A and B are shown apart, each in its own frame.
Chain A
Amino acid sequence: MTALPRPEAMAPAGSAAHALELRGLSKRYGSFTAVDAVSLRVERGQFLTLLGPSGSGKTTILMAIAGFVAPSAGAVLLDGADITALPPERRDFGMVFQGYALFPHMTVAENVAFPLRVRRLGQAAREAKVRAALDLVQLSAFAERRPSQLSGGQQQRVALARALVFEPDLLLLDEPLSALDKKLRAELQEELKALHRRIGRTFVNVTHDQEEALSLSDQVAILNHGKLVQMGAPEALYERPRTRFVADFLGKSNFLRGTVREVRPDMMALQAGGTRLLQAVQGAHPAPGTPALLSLRPEKIALLAGEEAADNAVAGRIEAWAYLGAGYALTVATDDLGPLRVALPAWRAPIAPREGLPVRLGWSAEAAVPVLEDADGA
């Protein structure tokens, strides 16, 4: 990380990036468990996103990291040191709040200077740092405006500058992009990612937007009902979801249910009604006769022409379709596997979709992944 060029004023002495660890973190409100024994580790300079539906406990975890929520059990560690009991004002973490929480009675420059003023930094040093931070988010021209005179995207960047100006050990982001419209969100996602690369600090982000999580993060932790369901790099999570919930929450997925008939070292055969499915297996091999659940992404299903062969093939009829510009979203009704969602690229599509059209679908043995049925509450 130290090899990366950084804007002068943002470069701290020594290592800027810190590692964060949560050990068995729990938070209970009466009989309700908001966070249930979550343990995870963010390495120095990484971008971690806590992803989950509302009520999954992701914001509570972030607030516990920031120090605003006292955990019922477990510990928060920064570079191995226990900081669980430290009040928020002594943690030196930068935070971008949901809705930004800019001080409306201060100008942009005063907002950004606030953390420095609190630290009793001299006037000259303060001004230099504020200028550097505003340069970093390209808002130097707006220094004397009030937050209410800025657009949503500009306010978001002021909040970022304010959170970064005091060179925090960690940057926490609470749904930083949720208040913006779609196009602006995509733009700021790119900016945020570039910023993270440029300053090389550890970022912890909270979102319910799976696209944002996939595009921004080095690591994504998926939460549901207060529990950590799976954590990993975005590609790993998308390609190898462990449970049905992960496959369903991260992108779209079809779920195929069958009974294991035959198991070989790298392959197994499932029976789903009258259809025989061929499925690659890694790791644990299920015993023959047990039920199995497969997750199959819509874009991994192809339309088979004529008598074309595939590892898995099934016939069906188009039940519904939608044109999305880049592709078609088809729902194909099949006898044995129920309705299957298929994503078909529109460019040179082999068919013109219409309702009731008979089609044959095919996918390779590696296309689908066996997933676990969600345990109760996980």
Chain B
Amino acid sequence: MTGGYRAGPLARGIAWATVIYLVLPITIVVPVSMTDRRYLSLPYETLSLRHYANLLGSEAWLGAIWQSLWIAIASTAIAVVAGTLCAIGCWRLARRSTEWVRALMLLPLIIPSIVYAVGLYRWFGTLDLLDRFLGVTLAHGVTGIPYVVITVSTALAAFDPRLEQAARGMGASLGQTLRWVILPRIAPGIASGAIFAFIHSWDELVLVLFIASRNVFTLPRKIWDGINENLDPTMAAVAVLLIVFTVLLLLLDGALRARRDP
């Protein structure tokens, strides 16, 4: 990709416009979070950190963060285990039917989440999973599976199947081959999938709106309610923290990928 022609002014203009369009709405919350007013606005006279202090002193906000974190961790665990096993199984069998299984696994990503949420609402009602930690965790775990299936399948596509043959030829059982040969080779793919599944649960709102009400109150839900009820700039502070956290996760993902292909 080196030695090409330099982009012309038009192409550069469009590119920069796109970048600004993408980044500006995200960056605007930074000054808003430092406003000196008591409502959502840009700073008037001075910059203030009192909304951050408010956030860290508020039990409601911290509780929501805490709950979101646990749900994200638990649902990531579900997504990683189920998604990795599914991807490895499809890869090992490699028949036409496994292509269908893989496509089926991507459904939660393809179907609008509001449709999914309506279905879950009916279904969870009969299972008594509404407004419970387990229910939200399961919903987030299942909808996180596609991310893991995609990243692990990609990692497996680059895996030399002769390594598996070699391991079995030397007497390794399926479990030993999985533990010592396959998993270490696809670990970066699993980590990528885990990061995406985590982010997915961390900022998921639509499902939570349907299947949770008072007991389970995640961070996105809290922000949503905050916007509906009062325009407290604490939300902007939360948003900034969310952005920082997500960027850190993506940087981690990038670092893992860089390690995979040296």
Contact = CB atoms under 8 A, between A and B. Distances in A.
Interface of A: 66-68, 87-95, 97-99, 101, 103-105, 114-115, 117-119, 162-163, 166
Contacts of A88: 165, 168-169
Interface stretch (B82-90, B138-146, B180-188): B180-188
Given A105-B184, A114-B180, A89 B168 contact: yes
B171 A118 contact: yes
A94 B173 CA distance: 15
- B interface, how many residues as a size bin? 10 to 19
Interface of B: 160, 162-163, 165-173, 176, 180-181, 184-185
Contacts of A101: 160, 162-163, 165-166
B171 A66 contact: no
Contacts, number: 60
A105 B172 contact: no
A114 B169 contact: no
Given A92-B171, A166-B171, A97 B166 contact: yes
B6 to A, nearest CB: 36
B162 to A, nearest CB: 4
A332 B160 CA distance: 50
B72 to A, nearest CB: 29
B94 to A, nearest CB: 15
A114 B167 contact: yes
Contacts of B170: 89, 94-95, 114-115, 118, 162-163, 166
Contacts of B168: 68, 87-89
A117 B185 CA distance: 18
Given A103-B181, A105-B185, A117-B180, A89 B163 contact: no
Contacts of A118: 167, 170-173, 176
Nearest to A174: B162
B162 A89 contact: no
Contacts of B160: 101
Nearest to B185: A105
A124 B168 CA distance: 24
B169 A89 contact: yes
8 contacts: A68-B165, A89-B169, A89-B173, A90-B171, A93-B169, A97-B165, A98-B162, A115-B171
A169 to B, nearest CB: 12
B48 to A, nearest CB: 51
A368 B196 CA distance: 73
Contacts of A87: 168
B166, B172, B184: residue with the most chain A Cβ atoms closer than 10 Å? B166
A91 B165 CA distance: 13
A208 to B, nearest CB: 18
Nearest to A67: B169
B160, B170, B176: residue with the most chain A Cβ atoms closer than 10 Å? B170
B259 to A, nearest CB: 11
B183 to A, nearest CB: 10
Contacts of B180: 114, 117
A97 B160 CA distance: 12
Contact of A89 (B171, B184, B185): B171
A170 to B, nearest CB: 11
Contacts of A114: 167, 170, 172, 180
B36 to A, nearest CB: 54
